[in-house]
Amino acid sequence: MRRLTYDEVACLFMAALILVLCVHSYVSGICYKYELNNGLFCAAFCTVPVIMKRSGALVLPGPFVILILAAIAFHAFGVLYFSYDELYYYDNLTHTLSSVTVSACVYLTLVCYQVYNRSFLLSPAMMSLASAMFMMTFSVGWELFEYVVDVSTGTNMQFSPTDTLRDMLCNTIAASAASTGMYYYVRRRGAEDIVESLRIHPLLRRFVAWGSDGKRSPIRLY
């Protein structure tokens, strides 16, 4: 059996830590079932990078794993101990972390598509624009989801219009920064080298390449 790598240890440690926080918060009467279930889901999600790596599906880069764990940990702590309600800017922190994480993952997905699917060519700048626009669109959808949940269940996920606008601003800044950083990262290292390091399973590679005719129609934006 292969030894655990540092990113796998980090994932398992974070999952265990969040489980401990779930138990402490619930036993102490701080959180209720909704917050507990949210925390348990976060703990389970921390193990996803390990499962993907051990199953041979995909090996995420270490910095990506740490970024994902940070976003999950801050969200779990905020839910279990009501930091979202008690700390004014806590929501901005989690939105920023989540937006950076999602934007980087979207960019990485586009890089894989760029390498394995020969249907068209995306420049690094175009992938930056696409990942930033995806995150901005996703953030709008998320705010609408929060509004629907508040109306239908009586929760208070959206505190005010100002809070919503502040969240959108954090998402926009974070998505722009992450996509710009990924642009320079890909330009410096190269798309093929990055994708090769992911060790993507052949089935996933075929899925990404589905519909490709082996030719490229160059679409460039620099």
Q: What is the pLDDT of residues 31-68, one digit of tens each?
A: 888 899 999 999 999 999 999 999 999 999 999 999 99
Q: What is the pLDDT of residues 147-202, one digit of tens each?
A: 887 788 776 666 677 777 888 899 999 999 999 999 999 888 888 899 999 999 99
pLDDT score of 219: 43
Residue 112: name the closest of 49, 198, 183 by CA. Answer: 198
pTM, entire model? 0.85
> What residues does 120 pair with on adjacent strands?
217
pLDDT score of 217: 47
pLDDT score of 47: 97
pLDDT score of 146: 77
Angle between helices 33-45 and 6-27 (to 10 degrees): 170
Question: Is the per-residue pLDDT at 139 higher than 90?
Answer: no
Q: What mean pLDDT is reported for the chain?
A: 87
Mean pLDDT of 91-119: 89
Asked if 99 and 166 touch (Cβ cutoff 8 Å), the reply is: no
Question: Is the per-residue pLDDT at 222 higher than 60?
Answer: no
pLDDT score of 122: 79
Question: Residue 117: CB partners within 8 Å, gap ≥ 6?
Answer: 208, 209, 210, 211, 212
Question: Is the per-residue pLDDT at 70 higher than 90?
Answer: yes
Residues 10 and 89: their CA atoms lie apart, in Å, by: 26
How many Cα atoms sit within 13 Å of 218 on the Cβ side? 3
pLDDT score of 1: 59
pLDDT score of 85: 83
Question: Is the per-residue pLDDT at 100 higher than 50?
Answer: yes
Residue 158: name the closest of 166, 135, 137, 174 by CA. Answer: 166
